Chains A and B, each alone.
Chain A
Amino acid sequence: MTLWRWAGGHASGLRVRLLLAFALLGVTTTAVVASGSYFQARTVILQQAQDAAVASLTDQLTKVYPIRQLPPTQNELDDLAHRLSDREGYAVVIYHDMRAQGAQVPEPLTPELRQAVESGLIAWQRVSRDGEPVLLIGTQLKLDRPDGAVLPSGLEVYAVRSLASEQQSIDRLATLAWLTGGLSLVLAVLLALLAARGVLRPVRELGRAARRLGEGDLTTRLVVRGADELADVARTFNDTAGTVERQVGELRRMEADARRFVADVSHELRTPLAAMTAVTDVLDEEADRLPGDAGKAARLVSQETQSLTQLVNDLIEVSRFDSGTARLALDDVDVAAAVTATLRIRGWTDRVRAELPPGVVARLDPRRLDVIVANLVGNAFRHGTEPVSVRLHAEPDWITIEVRDQGPGLDPEVLPHVFDRFYKADTARTRSEGSGLGLAIAWENARLHRHAGQAGSLVASNAPTGGAVFTLRLPRVAADTANTGGVR
């Protein structure tokens, strides 16, 4: 039973199943046909041999007539038996209690045959004598009566004939039948393999194409061969792949349109903003001298214009990342000095606890490093609690800058989205002091630095002691790579 279950488990493969079905079909058909023709041929061979033997005996017996003496002498019986014996067999002649036998072998006659002969008919029977098939034919010798009827004379003649040659012919037939069966089995297996290949190849191709499609190659198509069910499947696959490709293309086009729109708008806003900035600069200078609300309004306008300028600049930066036109301006930089400069320019030197081992030189884009560090530290000031620490760590191929604050840390729900654009961690606070793009830009900048196929990274996490930790990891020798626009 377990063997069958094992076979069943392995028989679930298409190839094995086809093989099994074909082999069984072939063997069954051959067995039926071969055995049928074998039996028929055997019957024909035996029947012919028997009929020929009976005819030959009858022919020989006509020469016995006319009968000259009854009861015959033993000599006469012996002579008759001798005359009827030849290479193919011998005869037994019986008259009541007398008997003559043409060969010195044991009596082969069966009681049922003698009974059939006594009833007045020619009778024959196949028997096995020492494993050799033997045909026994028996008949009475009757006498004509003047009126046409016949009289029993009491003489019985039996011919004993070997069927060895027929046995040989039949054995040859059997061998031939077995051979045919074996050949047909081989043929069936070959055909099954061929059929399995014919079926399995398109299936395998289909599987491969589906895998490629799943991996993102939307141009994958199958060659449709023939008009069977598998071709239908291939056609459906092609249709589906075509639809998916069209829809994804549409989506991409729409996304690109949206991005281009943002980029265009940002660019268009730059010129008026420059003019506005010039105006607000003047207003700023005059604000103190303006009375009451007018001064407050002037300062507000100036402040919001600055924010707007920042936002537009950030949008332009982001659209550069999206369009893949962002390039690294690589330089050999003393990282500690660069970070210190960033902090100093923004006036944060006193508020940040910096651990910057000197002498760490890396080849990277100093402007982008400045943007990242400023974003991270500024973010820590805005959302965390001081003291904020910046720690530089150098490895043979990579540098790590860790920015940590002592605030409550990031909400676990926020963590996965902290680098999303315009993501508001605090939903209650609708107006952020930043543009909402700072961390997204920092993340893109980090990824822009690549080394040996590995991109730089920016990871947000919570320190076990509390407080948010942003870890920037950049290669020591960054390579500029085309099209590093982050796709999120």
Chain B
Amino acid sequence: MTGRPVARALLAGGLLLTLLLAGCGVRPSGVITGRPAMAGPSVGVRLYLLSHGELALVIHPSKEPASPEETLAMLAAGPDESDLSQGLTSEVPTGLVPAGPVTAVPGRPGLTVTMTGPVLSLSGAAADQIVCTAASAAALAGLADSFPPITLAGPDGARPPRFCPVVR
């Protein structure tokens, strides 16, 4: 006779204790994840500079949408004060601007950028800066659906076509 009440009392007590301990109030939780982070448009010129040797996207304000050539000219102008204060650098030589419009050249995939200066002597990082900025600007200008492969050409010849590495 004593066995059952004891067991039942323990059960009830356990339940009450559970309620008491597990429970009252708001308990800390683990990380809960939801949908992907939000995204939105930008106004200005998107350039690719270098942050500790890595490509980094910056936006320079501009009144009107810039053409790919203007965009590349702004890249050649180098980082502004705000960029420098964040430790952003550029390896693109000052004055290395496009000699003509960014266009598709038959026999080459994607778009071709013909520069005023030599392109074969450019560092890999500098070439990537130009490739990414040109691809981004071309896409924004409607010259291509997405980031196209870019061929860098100059008076000294042409580099092989290349995709922007941060996007692929």
Rounded to whole angstroms, the CA-CA distance of A154 and B51 in the bound complex is: 12
- Is A4's CB under 8 angstroms from B2's CB? yes
CB closest chain-A residue, reference B88: A71
User: A265-283 interface mask toward B, CB cutoff 8 Å, 1 = contact, 0 = none?
Assistant: 0000000000000000000
Q: Which listed residue (A28, A62, A125, A127) contacts B38, Cβ 8 A?
A: A62
How many chain A residues have a CB neighbour from B under 8 Å?
76
User: If the complex has contacts A71-B82, A142-B38, are A7 and B19 also in contact, measured as CB distance less than 8 A?
Assistant: no
Point out the residues of chain B lying under 8 angstroms from A64, CB to CB: 40
Contacts of A58 in B (CB 8 A): 38
Say yes or no for B5: interface residue by CB 8 A criterion.
Answer: yes
The answer, among B15, B51, B58, B140, for a CB contact under 8 Å with A35, is B15
Q: Within the complex, which residue of B11, B23, B61, B167 is in contact with A174, where a contact is CB–CB below 8 Å? A: B23
Shortest Cβ distance from B17 into chain A, in angstroms? Answer: 10
Give the interface segment out of B26-34, B90-98, B101-109, B149-157.
B26-34
Which of B41-49, B68-76, B116-124 is the interface stretch?
B41-49
Known: A24-B5, A126-B28. A67 touches B34 (CB 8 A): no
Binds B, one of A143-151, A202-210, A414-422: A143-151
Q: For A145, what are the chain B residues with a Cβ–Cβ distance below 8 Å?
A: 139, 146-147, 167
Q: A46-B26, A68-B44, A167-B26 are in contact. Are A141 and B38 (CB under 8 A)?
A: yes
Say how far A72's CB is from chain B's closest CB, in angstroms: 8
Cβ-based interface call for A31 (8 A): yes
Q: B8 — which chain A residues lie within 8 A by C-beta?
A: 24, 28
Interface segment, one of A115-123, A214-222, A289-297: A115-123
The answer to whether A150 and B39 touch (CB under 8 A), given A35-B19, A68-B44, A123-B34, is: yes
Does B9 touch A at the CB level, under 8 Å?
A: yes
Q: Please state if A5 and B24 are interface contacts (CB–CB under 8 Å).
A: no
Chain B CB within 8 A of A428 CB: no
Are B29 and A125 in contact, with the CB atoms below 8 A? yes
Closest chain A CB from B7 CB (angstroms): 10
Q: Which residues of A contact B146 (CB under 8 A)?
A: 145-147, 149
Contact A126 B56 (CB under 8 A): no
Q: Chain A nearest CB: distance from B61 CB in Å?
A: 5
The CA of A66 and the CA of B45, in the complex, are separated in Å by 12
Q: Is A484 engaged at the interface, CB distance under 8 Å to the other chain?
A: no
B60 within 8 A of partner (CB) = yes
Write the chain B residue with the least CB distance to A95: B86
A35 to B12, CA, bound (A): 12
Q: Is the CB of B40 within 8 A of A7?
A: no
A301 within 8 A of B: no
Shortest CB distance A10–B (Å): 11
> Which residues of chain A are near B136, meaning CB under 8 Å?
146
In the complex, residue of chain B having the shortest beta-carbon distance to the beta carbon of A65: B40
Name the A residues within 8 Å of B12 (CB-CB). 24, 27-28, 31
Q: A177 CA to B147 CA in the complex, in Å?
A: 61
A125 pairs with B15, CB closer than 8 A: no
Whether A144 contacts B40 in the complex (CB less than 8 A), given A24-B12, A28-B11, A31-B19, comes out as yes
Contact with B along A180-210 (1 / 0, CB 8 A): 0100000000000000000000000000000
Q: A123: which of B19, B32, B40, B82 is its contact (CB, 8 Å)?
A: B32
B26, A133: Cβ atoms closer than 8 Å: yes
Q: Which of B1, B18, B26, B82 has the most CB of A within 10 A?
A: B26
Among residues 17 to 69 in chain A, which have CB atoms less than 8 Å away from a CB atom of chain B? 20-21, 24, 27-28, 31-32, 34-35, 38-39, 42, 46, 50, 54, 58, 61-62, 64-69
Residue from A32, A126, A133, A141 in contact with B37 in the complex, judged by beta carbons closer than 8 Å = A141
A128 / chain B contacts, CB cutoff of 8 Å:
28
Report chain A residues within 8 Å CB of B30: 112, 125
List residues of chain A with CB within 8 A of the CB of B56: 154
Whole-angstrom CA separation of A215 from B86 in the bound complex: 110
Q: Are A139 and B23 in contact (CB under 8 A)?
A: no
- Contact A171 to B19, CB < 8 A, known contacts A65-B41, A122-B34, A147-B146: no
CB distance from B166 to the nearest CB of A (A): 8
Q: Which residues of B contact A181 (CB under 8 A)?
A: 16
B165 on the A face (CB < 8 A): no
State the Cβ distance, A99 to closest chain B Cβ, in Å.
13
> A133 to chain B: which residues have CB within 8 Å?
25-26, 28
Tell me the A residues contacting B by CB distance below 8 Å: 4-5, 7-8, 11-12, 20-21, 24, 27-28, 31-32, 34-35, 38-39, 42, 46, 50, 54, 58, 61-62, 64-73, 96-98, 110, 112-113, 115-117, 119-128, 133, 139-147, 149-151, 153-154, 163, 166-167, 170-171, 174, 177, 181
Can you give 20 A-B contacts (C-beta < 8 A)?
Answer: A5-B2, A7-B5, A24-B12, A35-B23, A64-B40, A65-B42, A71-B58, A72-B82, A73-B82, A112-B31, A122-B38, A124-B32, A125-B31, A126-B28, A144-B40, A147-B139, A147-B146, A154-B56, A170-B26, A174-B25
* 9 tightest A-B CB contacts, nearest first: A65-B40, A147-B146, A8-B2, A142-B39, A133-B26, A70-B59, A146-B139, A150-B39, A140-B37
